[in-house]
Amino acid sequence: MSRIKRGMMTKKRHKRVLKAAKGFWGQRGNIFRRAAETLRRAMAFAFVGRKLKKRDMRSLFITRVSAAAKARGMKYNTLIHGLKLKHVELDRKMLSQIAIFDSAAFDSVVALAKK
């Protein structure tokens, strides 16, 4: 039975990891083992960072809607509760966009939630 040499795939994998680790400091950028472990760690942080970004953006939307509601004499939680009771399916992002760019529409949303 013939023998299979695996050097080609190993070199390909090493090149892919080292290309992704380009710019890392010291051995982390040019030694495969160090680069691979640093890259795994970087990918884990990147994954967590994407989740944190979503959380931060939601917090920003809530702050914007709260400020707009307060300017119209209504609390944020009262506004959201009123919209839920009226079965209005606007999420926080859309509410914040309406509050910033279309104040007349936001006034009507607040009036709907007050009923």
Which domains can be identified in the chain, with CATH numbers? 7-114 (1.10.1900.20)
Q: Amino acid identity, residue 83?
A: L
Neighbour-count burial of 99, counting CB atoms closer than 10 A to its CB (0-12 exposed, 13-18 middle, 19+ buried): buried
pLDDT tens for each residue of 6-56? 889 999 999 999 999 999 999 999 999 999 999 999 999 999 999 999 999
What is each CA distance from 95 to 40, 45, 47, 83, 112, in whole angstroms? 38, 31, 27, 11, 13
pLDDT tens, position by position, 69-83: 999 999 999 999 999
Backbone torsions φ then ψ of 111, nearest 5 degrees: -60, -40
